[in-house]
Amino acid sequence: MNDTTSDSHFDYDLFVIGSGPGGEGAAMQASKGGMRVAVAEKYTQIGGGCTHWGTIPSKALRFAITSTMKALRNPTFQELGVQVSPTLQQLRRGTQSIIGKQVTMRQSFYERNGVPVIQGTARFLDAHSISIDGDKPIRAKHFVIATGSRPFRPEGVDFSHPRVYDSDTILGMTHKPTTLSVYGAGVIGTEYASMFRNLGIKVNLINTREKLLEFLDDEIVDALAYHLRDQGVIIRHNETMKKVEATDDGVIVHLQSGKRVKTDAFLWANGRTGNTDNLGLENIPIEANNRGQLVVDEQFQTAIPHIYAVGDVIGFPSLASAAYTQGRAAAMHMLGRKDGNLRVNDIPTGIYTSPEISSVGKTERELTAACVPYEVGHSLFRSLARAQITGETTGMLKLLFHRDTLEILGVHCFGANASEIVHIGQAIMNQPAGHNTVEYFVETTFNYPTMAEAYRVAALNGMNRLF
């Protein structure tokens, strides 16, 4: 560790702006390394957008919707004549208690590690000083900017209209619309389209690109598109918004192609903006890009080496899991562990559509472009006993592995519990050479019946293609 703790010129060795996953990861790692750390949080409670507006409330609502609707569609319930239509308020009822538990737990981390959390908006006065809500300057040797992001709001869209939402305000929707247009088919757009279709709402998903979620494996994308359409979602590719017309009885989306789509409500889910506009960056100076994001190097340092940035404020991949890892990596770098980037290039995707998607490693498209000789192993969930028992037979596990070395190159999963299942493959992928092959799955005994057994089925399927 370096000599930061003995530096009397500063109030703190590290000052963190933002208490979401990125800020928490940096603060906890630095504190455990012996640094004097403090955190500023402008919201009334800690946890950031992840806890209060994004990951936790949206995934809690998703679980409430999927579990409730699955139960209501159960033949036993239908035979009993149970026919109810839960309101959004009822489905959201448990969300606040979950958020409360998260806040209490995370508050205990700061208290246990002696890290003060100061409520208010922090602004840079110079490269080593910040002020919180205009109070006296606080000096720190290092800073981590972890201010997160918010939905991008274009001019010409009236977000004050009761029928117009973004991904923050949609969680406060009180009425259940009959129809909904979602503009933007990225992760957030597809998740909400899937979620609201599950409630029986007719959904138009308007995509500005040629395919859904183009960073995913093509086969997974095709499976998702087929499944959404099979559920009744209308997907409109290669469309660009001309204007949004909000009226008393609905919202009309005018598209550049000449099409017009009218629905009861409208969700804007096209892009996010980094929360950098009130940081006083002009006093440092560091410039944000046109999306309000900060550019960092591999160690998460900005143009000013002692000021780091992590999480959504630096853009892709905009995942809570990635933000926490990035925060820890930045703190390790401050502590002198320059190699401590904590597998930041090994971050799995987790997309909570219904069913969900998760992947890690290379796609077929990437391997083909790189001329890597690979083979594919498939396991369709409908052939697994556990999936047949639970009734969640939609989906598959797909393994990509090197034809010669048998090294696992990519794991792609679409179906129930995909975000859990993927970590088994991730763990084997990262073993030393010779131990990171599909042979592990062929030679290992899996509990039966389980979803994990999909790895054995997929590995055998792929091995059968070798000659």
Please indicate if the annotation marks 185 as binding a ligand.
Answer: yes
**Residue position matching structure tokens 């048998």:** 406
Please indicate if the annotation marks 188 as binding a ligand.
Answer: yes
Please indicate if the annotation marks 311 as binding a ligand.
Answer: no
* C-alpha distances out from residue 455 to 193, 376, 378, 399, 419, Å: 30, 12, 9, 8, 14
Distance of alpha carbon 16 from alpha carbon 122, whole angstroms:
10
Distance of alpha carbon 308 from alpha carbon 299, whole angstroms:
8
Please indicate if the annotation marks 131 as binding a ligand.
Answer: no
Distance of alpha carbon 151 from alpha carbon 149, whole angstroms:
7
Please indicate if the annotation marks 172 as binding a ligand.
Answer: no
Strands 129-132 and 122-126 turn out to be antiparallel
Distance of alpha carbon 340 from alpha carbon 331, whole angstroms:
9
* C-alpha distances out from residue 279 to 41, 168, 287, 289, 315, Å: 12, 21, 11, 14, 17
* C-alpha distances out from residue 259 to 9, 40, 57, 154, 178, Å: 63, 47, 34, 20, 20
Strands 12-17 and 138-145 turn out to be parallel
Long-range contacts of 160-166 (CB under 8 A, 24+ apart): 161/246, 161/251, 163/246, 163/250, 163/251, 163/264, 163/265, 163/266, 164/244, 164/246, 164/251, 164/265, 164/266, 164/268, 165/265, 165/266, 165/267, 165/268, 166/267, 166/268, 166/269
Q: Answer whether 453's CB lies under 8 Å from 446's CB.
A: yes
| Residue 32: other Cβ atoms inside 10 A | 13
Closest CA to 292 of 304, 307, 275: 275
Please indicate if the annotation marks 59 as binding a ligand.
Answer: yes
Please indicate if the annotation marks 390 as binding a ligand.
Answer: no
Please indicate if the annotation marks 56 as binding a ligand.
Answer: no
Please indicate if the annotation marks 361 as binding a ligand.
Answer: no
Q: Answer whether 415's CB lies under 8 Å from 388's CB.
A: no
Distance of alpha carbon 215 from alpha carbon 393, whole angstroms:
25
Please indicate if the annotation marks 217 as binding a ligand.
Answer: no
At 137, the amino acid letter reads: P
Please indicate if the annotation marks 271 as binding a ligand.
Answer: yes
Please indicate if the annotation marks 121 as binding a ligand.
Answer: no
Distance of alpha carbon 5 from alpha carbon 24, whole angstroms:
20
Please indicate if the annotation marks 366 as binding a ligand.
Answer: no
Q: Which DSSP symbol is given to 120?
A: S
Instruction: Look at phi and psi of residue 249 and say left if phi exceeds 0, alpha if psi is from -120 to 50, else beta.
Output: alpha
Please indicate if the annotation marks 187 as binding a ligand.
Answer: yes
Q: Which residues define the annotated binding site for FAD?
A: 59, 147-149, 312
Q: Which residues define the annotated binding site for NAD(+)?
A: 184-191, 271
Q: Which residues define the annotated binding site?
A: 59, 147-149, 184-191, 271, 312
